[in-house]
A = this chain, B = another copy of it.
Amino acid sequence: MTQIHPVILCGGSGTRLWPLSRTALPKPFLPLVSEQTLFQQAVARVAGDDRFAPPIVVAGAAHVGLIEAQLGDTPGARLVIEPAAKNTAPAIALAAALLPEDAVMLVCPSDHHIADPAAFRAAALAAAALAREDYLVSFGIAANRPETGYGYLMRGEPLPGGFAIQQFVEKPDLARAEAYLASGEYSWNGGIFAFRAGHLLAELAAHRPEMARAVREAVAAGQAEGRQFHPAPAPFAAITGDSIDYAVMEKTARAAMVPADMGWSDIGTWASLAEALADTADAAGNICRTSGAGAVDLDGCEGVFALTDGPRISAVGLKDVCIIISGSEVLVTSREGAQRVGKLPGASTP
């Protein structure tokens, strides 16, 4: 049986998880949900399973040190270093150009949490089967709340193991999100994809020919260095960046989706991290995480998420508040306000 090639993208900045996530140490490389970092979890999710080939990691030069350290001696792993940040379409195309035409690639963000890896792998197998039939396949994440922060996929005609995609929907307002949830026909677009490498490049050449050409040139003139691959900077730098959704998925006639109900979270905000950690909460829904000399004392609190790397946190009478201490920064946000953390002045400092 042909193996599936995991492609792990390390592009996100995660400013909404400031002050823990910073430019120099962004979200994928933090141990947010477990002892492992989100990146290490993404690698582990497809490791030790013969159905999956070793991963290809795509990342910027700034994070090579972190990735080499966190990859450790993962057998056969490769690392593609983007000469510039150009969004997901060029990053995915780089990996595709390094794979055989008939290889099936499974594109995974490095900064998501998946509580049920077995369900993830089952969905990956279904997606790979459709990708081998030259569908461009997106994971349709089971929606469990009227989320306004994600795009949605509307399912169309059934396909083996999935559905055609009837429609891509941008982030909706609350009323529409509630209607989508009630209809049962919509899933979240979680940014996880399966493609046959050659087919993805062919679709890119059809819809964004200059991008496809630049990626081919960057790979042809690139340099391998151990397990690292450095595409040529000049052609890559000339690319006008775009997401894989805009560049290809919303344009192709072969878009498909596989349903995936796997305890997924993009850990997009402190509130969603608190939700992902809900099974570690006390009876009042409080979650405390300490490192270093950190300690947390709570009195009459409900739904508080407290995280500190040093100073003691003492909290009284709070409800649904996140308190995050990292270095010399102290963030206190309501769960509803957590979406806006990335806009704070502090989140723009290195």
A311 on the B face (CB < 8 A): yes
Specify which chain B residues have a CB less than 8 angstroms from the CB of A316 in the assembled complex.
331-334, 337-338, 340-341, 344
The residue on B at minimum CB distance from A329 is B312
A3-11, A22-30, A195-203, A320-328 - the one binding chain B: A320-328
The residue on B at minimum CB distance from A325 is B330
Contact of A323 among B293, B328, B330, B334 (CB under 8 A): B330
Shortest CB-to-CB span from A222 to chain B, Å, is 41
| Cross-chain contact B323 with A321 (CB below 8 angstroms) | no
| Cross-chain contact A317 with B333 (CB below 8 angstroms) | yes
Say yes or no: A329-B311 contact (C-beta < 8 A), given A299-B337, A300-B337, A340-B300: yes
Shortest CB-to-CB span from A213 to chain B, Å, is 44
A297 on the B face (CB < 8 A): yes
| Cross-chain contact B346 with A333 (CB below 8 angstroms) | no
A192 on the B face (CB < 8 A): no
A268 to B345, CA, bound (A): 33
Shortest CB-to-CB span from A108 to chain B, Å, is 30
The residue on B at minimum CB distance from A310 is B328
A337 to B314, CA, bound (A): 12
A182 to B310, CA, bound (A): 49
Shortest CB-to-CB span from A287 to chain B, Å, is 15
A318 on the B face (CB < 8 A): yes
The residue on B at minimum CB distance from A333 is B316
| Cross-chain contact A299 with B340 (CB below 8 angstroms) | yes
Cβ contacts A214-252/B at 8 Å (1 or 0 each): 000000000000000000000000000000000000000
| Cross-chain contact B340 with A313 (CB below 8 angstroms) | no
A299 to B334, CA, bound (A): 11
Contact of A331 among B310, B314, B319, B333 (CB under 8 A): B314
Contact of A333 among B293, B310, B315, B325 (CB under 8 A): B315
Say yes or no: A344-B297 contact (C-beta < 8 A), given A318-B332, A318-B337, A330-B313: yes
Shortest CB-to-CB span from A273 to chain B, Å, is 15
A316 to B15, CA, bound (A): 14
Shortest CB-to-CB span from A304 to chain B, Å, is 9
A331 to B332, CA, bound (A): 11
Contact of A299 among B300, B308, B315, B344 (CB under 8 A): B344
Specify which chain B residues have a CB less than 8 angstroms from the CB of A341 in the assembled complex.
314, 316
A335 to B317, CA, bound (A): 8
Specify which chain B residues have a CB less than 8 angstroms from the CB of A336 in the assembled complex.
317
The residue on B at minimum CB distance from A341 is B316
Say yes or no: A312-B328 contact (C-beta < 8 A), given A317-B337, A340-B300: yes
A176 on the B face (CB < 8 A): no
5 further contact pairs, Cβ within 8 A, besides A312-B329, A332-B332 = A19-B314, A311-B329, A315-B333, A317-B334, A317-B336
- List the 10 closest A-B pairs by CB distance, nearest first: A317-B337, A316-B337, A317-B334, A316-B333, A311-B328, A315-B332, A314-B344, A314-B331, A314-B346, A311-B330
- Residues of A that sit less than 8 Å from B by CB: 19, 293, 297, 299-300, 308, 310-319, 321, 323, 325, 328-334, 336-338, 340-341, 343-346
